[in-house]
Amino acid sequence: MPRTIRIAAAQMGPVNPSEERSVTIGRIMKLLSEAADIGCDLAVFPELALSTFFPREYHVDLREADIFYEKTMPAQDLQPLFALARERRIGFSLGYAELVEDDVIGRRYNSQVLVDKQGTVISKYRKIHLPGHADNRENDPFQNLEKYYFEVGDLGFPVVNAFDGRVGMCICNDRRWPETYRVMGLKGVELIVLGYTTPLQNPRADQSAELRQFHNHLCMQAGAYQNSTFVVGVAKAGIEGGVELMGGSCIVHPDGRIIAQATSLSDELVVADCDLDDCLNGKAEEFNFERNRRPSLYEGLLTPHGETA
């Protein structure tokens, strides 16, 4: 009996700083509704989907950016989105900035939730690999101040039973790290959903846009293959706040092939029917961890620079 779920990578075009939040939520609801129209079980939205990528702007007092953070999920104005999921019986995953107000300053995370077909949050992830820097580099062509605006996530990489399989999440830069996939692979993950906001240029490296897009797909395809899991990577694309963001949203099969890919830099649904049973052979044979992994010989993997005792 196959475990086929229809998944939409709900790519978004730019969310420019001047865009009203209600407009952005409207775009997300339209994509979710269209995904439901074509029978999708799950729609996956990008990193920080509810706003522009605000970590490109420096504020001397980081609390000036608190308007971009959610203090509760769902916030009041997201209730209609969750109601839509419930009414249309479609799950979704959404990236957002999270503010936990447990002291005067609070804790801030780059987070993502997984919501089931009843409109209930069933899992949360907080980004672990934060790229960029914490200092203001106003002479750079553009900045990534994630290390200033967010703390390193403290929830690990949860994998939950959902959508007939084992589902995990990660966010953007996490996708470049093999540890991300392997930690979830060891928990039996069959579907990893992630959002990304990736500039076509890296201000600190001389890399062509083609090479940057190649790396985007390379890491997700390798992670999928080496852990025998589906990976769904979803971009915020196009020119946002003056920065060119790559598209290339895709759905990767556990054998490492891209089975569906975006063709635009705009709001677009990228859809594939994913039989989670396609993960089983790889997990039982080529990447049978129990049989073939040799953790006692992987010295240094749990220390920062490979140091051993």
Residues that bind ligand CDT (CB under 6 A): 47, 131, 144, 172-173, 176, 196-199, 202
283 counts as catalytic: no
User: Which among 172, 219, 250, 279 is annotated as catalytic?
Assistant: 172
In the complex, least distance from residue 250 CB atom to ligand CDT, rounded to whole angstroms = 14
The residues that bridge with 162 in the sheet, in sequence order, are 165
User: Which among 40, 47, 219, 279 is annotated as catalytic?
Assistant: 47
Distances (CA, A) of 14 to 25, 27, 84, 150, 153: 13, 11, 23, 22, 25
Cβ nearer to ligand CDT, comparing 145 with 184: 145
Nearest to 260 by CA among 268, 247, 249: 249
In the complex, least distance from residue 198 CB atom to ligand CDT, rounded to whole angstroms = 3
Give the burial string for 116-137 (b: 16+ CB within 10 Å, else e): bbebeebbbbbbbbbebeeeee
In the complex, least distance from residue 1 CB atom to ligand CDT, rounded to whole angstroms = 38
E strands present in 142-282: 159-162, 165-171, 191-196, 230-235, 238-240, 243-245, 250-252, 258-261, 268-275
User: Which among 40, 98, 127, 219 is annotated as catalytic?
Assistant: 127
172 counts as catalytic: yes
Rounded Cα distance between 157 and 124, Å, is: 9
In the complex, least distance from residue 303 CB atom to ligand CDT, rounded to whole angstroms = 23
Cβ nearer to ligand CDT, comparing 48 with 113: 48
**Can you read off the two tokens belonging to residue 30?**
């339209």
Cβ nearer to ligand CDT, comparing 127 with 182: 127
Angle at which helices 79-88 and 21-37 pack, to 10 degrees?
0
In the complex, least distance from residue 174 CB atom to ligand CDT, rounded to whole angstroms = 8
Q: Provide the 8-state DSSP code for 275.
A: E
47 counts as catalytic: yes
Cβ nearer to ligand CDT, comparing 150 with 163: 150
Please confirm whether the linkage preceding 74 is cis (ω < 30° from 0): yes
Rounded Cα distance between 191 and 163, Å, is: 9
Cβ nearer to ligand CDT, comparing 55 with 119: 55
- Give catalytic residues, as residue numbers: 47, 127, 172
